[in-house]
């Protein structure tokens, strides 16, 4: 089984790599503390570091970090319509679910929220990817 961090990086590369040949791509990142750089300076977070790499290579990729520490799938779902309207992303990267699990929210609710996040994003034509979050077995079923 692949380590969760390696899996995260692998999926991220699969989503992001095709953008290097494209122009004017906007990636909306919906995440929790992992993407919001909780406990770090913003310039130390992975989103800012990735944006810096695109900028260094003079690539037209703009990362919109709409991540909030403690965010749940339900919270992101409530904010999504406004974010899609404001930024019109070509891609949406969803890194959520951990806080739902830590709070003991029902798995069915988590799944439904993720499906809705994906459907709304795809409805505007955005390519969408979901980062897998492994919830410890002692937090819910």
The per-residue pLDDT for 140 is 57
Q: Does residue 6 fall inside a structural domain?
A: no
Is the pLDDT reported for residue 21 higher than 50? no
Q: What is the Cα–Cα distance from 43 to 40, expressed in whole angstroms? A: 8
Q: Does residue 108 fall inside a structural domain?
A: yes
**23-76 pLDDT per residue, tens:** 589 999 999 999 999 999 988 999 999 999 999 999 999 999 999 999 999 999
Is the pLDDT reported for residue 123 higher than 50? yes
Domain count, the chain: 1
Q: What is the Cα–Cα distance from 39 to 59, expressed in whole angstroms? A: 29
Q: Does residue 34 fall inside a structural domain?
A: yes
Helix axes 107-123, 73-87, angle to 10 degrees: 10
Q: Does residue 16 fall inside a structural domain?
A: no
Q: Does residue 9 fall inside a structural domain?
A: no
**Torsion (CA) 85, 89, 93, 95 in degrees, nearest 10:** -30
**Range of the structural domain that residue 130 is part of:** 26-59+74-134
- Mean pLDDT over 123-137 rounds to 87
The per-residue pLDDT for 47 is 95
**93-112 pLDDT per residue, tens:** 999 999 998 898 999 999 99
Q: Does residue 103 fall inside a structural domain?
A: yes
Q: Does residue 8 fall inside a structural domain?
A: no
pTM of the model: 0.81
Q: 79: domain CATH number?
A: 3.40.50.1110
Phi first, then psi, for residue 27 (nearest 5°) are -110, 120
Q: Does residue 121 fall inside a structural domain?
A: yes
The answer to whether 72 touches 99, Cβ cutoff 8 Å, is: yes
Residue 123: other Cβ atoms inside 10 A: 9
């Amino acid at each position: 089984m692949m380590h969760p961090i390696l899996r995260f990086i692998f999926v991220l590369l699969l989503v992001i790599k095709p953008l290097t040949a494209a122009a004017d791509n906007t990636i909306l990142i919906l995440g929790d503390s992992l993407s919001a750089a909780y406990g770090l300076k913003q310039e130390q977070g992975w989103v800012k570091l990735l944006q810096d790499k695109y900028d260094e290579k003079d690539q037209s990729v703009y990362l919109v970090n709409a991540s909030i520490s403690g965010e749940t799938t339900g919270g992101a779902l409530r904010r999504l319509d406004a974010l899609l309207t404001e930024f019109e992303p070509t891609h949406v990267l969803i890194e959520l679910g951990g806080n739902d699990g830590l709070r003991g929210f029902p798995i069915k609710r988590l799944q439904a929220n993720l499906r809705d996040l994906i459907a709304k994003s795809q409805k505007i034509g955005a390519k969408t990817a979901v980062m897998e979050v492994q919830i410890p077995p002692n937090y819910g079923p």
